[in-house]
Amino acid sequence: MKWTKTLIQTLRENPGDAEIDSHKLLVRAGLVRKVAGGLYAYLPLGMRTLRKIQQIVREEMDRAGALEVVTPVLQPSELWRTTGRWDTMGPNMFKVKDRGEHDFALGPTAEEVFTDMAKGVVSSYRQLPLTIYQIQWKFRDETRPRFGLMRSKEFLMKDAYSFDADADGADRSYWNMYHAYERIFARCGLKAVPVQADGGDMGDSLTHEFHVLADAGEDGIAWCEGCGYAANLEKAERRADAPSAGAPCAEPSEVATPGAKTIEQVAAFMGLAADAFVKSLVYVADGKPVMVCVPGDRDVNDVKLKRFLGAKSLALADFDTVLAATGANAGSVGPVKPADASLRIVADVSLKGATGRIVGANKDGFHLKDVDLARDTSLKDADFADLTIVKEGDLCPHCGKPIVIKRGIEVGQVFKLGTKYSGAFKATYKNDKLEEKVMIMGCYGVGVSRTLQAIIEQSHDKDGIVWPAAVAPYQVAVELLDPDDATVAKIAEDIETALEAAGVDVIVDDRAERPGVKFKDADLIGFPVRVVVGAKGLANGGVEVKLRSEDKSKTRIVPPDSAASVVRSLLQGEPA
């Protein structure tokens, strides 16, 4: 392919709305063009890489035994009302009406339509297990689209759904997809780490997210370098042994703390560290107030709390609820004799048996010191659990080594859904005894367009993108420095022909531009191999071959006839 025959526009300046490197490079390298907030057009270079990622995904899905289908982007509301998600998805869902005033959604995901499909085509256990997938555009009305393709209103996704006859089969399908994801991301040149995650409203306890570790990641990952334990911060656990029994402390006494409401303010007022305090918060879980107590230097993990309480809804209590439950306003509440004697109290396991702590006095502007949590409060009868967000330096729950916190870009996730959707749709099959059974489901997603940008975020330098060869828009750029010299042009064409015959994607930069401009564009776009063909170089012995990932000072001068074989060796990771 000749550069002058395609559509490539590179930019020297960063786009004004781009916050992270990969977003800047997407636009500057001419892969995408912004249409509106959260909406992008894919230009020829971007389309080439997007298609290569799709092909890798498709090959690994097929290899895993999944069958490709395609479902409509426009989905009738009746399917979503079957599971109740027409209402619970909220404003993130794009909803439209046709001319007959029938409700439709632009699909943000496809559990409903796939479950309905399986219900219509599966009737016997002989048709199971079944895994079907599609690569399709999805739509979500993000409140704040940002970071380019990372959080956009329209995105390309591979979603797969497994249907099994029993739990053992569902486990096999789950791990089959898990390993397929490992292969997908490895082939894309990504270092994607599988981490334990919370299933939330989507599924049961077994789910993993695949994260590309990057400073620009939106998700926090708890990582143990000792044993490899990794979990999303929503799920991450820590070793939190209850404190050893301390010496008996004095009876609690009131301390005036005027104007101090937060732990930081009270700690500063009393000249003590935050861990000397108990942070008490009032939540409303499924309509009922509950007090949550954690160490003063820690924060409540709402996801863990919701799961522990078995609540469908959970939110911090409003002003009136806090006052009625405790007798005080937020900032002065605590577990010692709240106004509502029946108020349920739950606490972090690290507080069990703790003594000498300071808590809110349930009296505005006052705290209690010298509190023995088992003696002076109803915490002796409380439920204890791991309820806090893991922090850097916490101990790994498995090996006891310190945890570090990293940032991750989620590019894929695997879920065990159980019968959440198949039960709602009555998606059943008949077993060998002709008994009707509900199919057990799994759900598996890869953000294809997000993966494209994640690769850039993980593989770039100060000069531009450094594409892995498998997904580069072109694997080789032949830099034709003297396009008007017939001899030089013929050698460049011969190298192009030889490489294309070997199945290598090649672009020949035949523009009438200075060498420096061509080299900067090649580095910006990130072609894995650069071959420089010019009259001066040929006179000095050959053509220059260089890997994009190598130091600029490292080049190879090879005879023109050997250039294609040297390039192929470099692309295959062999020394040349």
Domains (ranges, CATH) in the chain? 11-189+427-456 (3.30.930.10), 253-385 (3.90.960.10), 474-571 (3.40.50.800)
pTM given for the model: 0.88
Q: What is the C-alpha to C-alpha distance for residues 158 and 441, in angstroms, rounded to an integer?
A: 17
Give the separation between CA 26 and CA 19, rounded to whole angstroms. Answer: 12
CA max distance for the chain: 97
Q: What is the mean pLDDT of residues 540-569?
A: 90
Q: Over the stretch 235-283, which tens digit does the pLDDT of each residue have?
A: 899 988 766 555 567 888 999 999 998 999 999 999 999 999 999 999 9
Q: What is the pLDDT of residue 62?
A: 98
The pLDDT of residue 83 is 95
* Segment 172-183, tens digit of pLDDT: 999 999 999 999
For 295-340, the pLDDT digits (tens) are 999 999 999 999 899 998 999 999 999 999 999 999 999 999 999 9
At residue 425, the pLDDT reads 97
The answer to whether 439 touches 499, Cβ cutoff 8 Å, is no
Confidence class of residue 205 from pLDDT cuts 50, 70 and 90? Answer: low
Q: What is the predicted pLDDT for the residue at 539?
A: 87
Query: What are the helix (H) ranges across 390-534?
Result: 420-425, 448-458, 486-501, 515-525
| Residue 512 identity | A
pLDDT of residue 374: 81
Sequence length of the chain is 576
Give dist(CA 375, CA 87) in Å, integer: 47
Q: Looking at residue 334, what is its pLDDT?
A: 94
For residue 499, the tally of other CB atoms under 10 A from its CB is 23
Q: What is the pLDDT of residue 280?
A: 95
Res. 194: pLDDT tops 80: yes
- With a CB cutoff of 8 Å and minimum separation 6, the contacts of 64 are 131, 176, 177, 179, 180
Q: What gap in Å lies between CA 104 and CA 148, rounded to an integer? A: 27
Q: For CA atoms 294, 297, 302, 303, give the dihedral sign.
A: negative
> Helix 44-63 crosses helix 448-458 at what angle (to 10 degrees)?
110
* Better-scored residue on pLDDT, 554 or 387: 387
Q: What pLDDT, in 10s, does the model give residues 404-416?
A: 999 999 999 999 9
Whole-number mean pLDDT of the chain? Answer: 93
pLDDT over 90, % of the chain: 83
| Tokens coding 482 | 């003297």
- In terms of pLDDT, which residue wins out, 26 or 200? 26
pLDDT above 70 (res 38): yes
Task: State residue 242's pLDDT score.
Answer: 61
pLDDT in the model for residue 203: 43
Q: What CA–CA distance (Å, rounded) separates 437 from 384? A: 38
pLDDT class of 428 with cuts at 50, 70, 90: very high
What does the pLDDT look like over 469-519, one tens digit per residue?
A: 999 999 999 999 999 899 999 999 999 999 999 999 999 999 999 999 999
User: Given the structure tokens 């959707």, which residue do they identify?
Assistant: 421
User: With 60 as the cut, is the pLDDT of residue 141 above it?
Assistant: yes
Q: How far apart are CA 95 and CA 103, in angstroms?
A: 7
- E strand or H helix that includes residue 180: helix 167-187
Rounded to whole angstroms, the Cα distance separating 127 from 191 reads 36
Q: Residue 91 in contact with residue 108, Cβ under 8 Å? A: no
The confidence score (pLDDT) of residue 245 equals 54
Q: Which two tokens stand for residue 55?
A: 């092909």
Rounded mean pLDDT, 334-350: 93
Determine the pLDDT at residue 366.
95
The predicted model gives 542-554 an average pLDDT of 90
Res 199 pLDDT > 90: no
Query: How far is 253 from 407, CA to CA, in rounded Å?
Result: 44
Residue 204 pLDDT > 80: no
* Residue 190 CB partners (closer than 8 Å, separation 6+): 212, 411, 451, 454, 455, 458, 468
Cis peptide leading into 129, omega within 30 of 0? yes
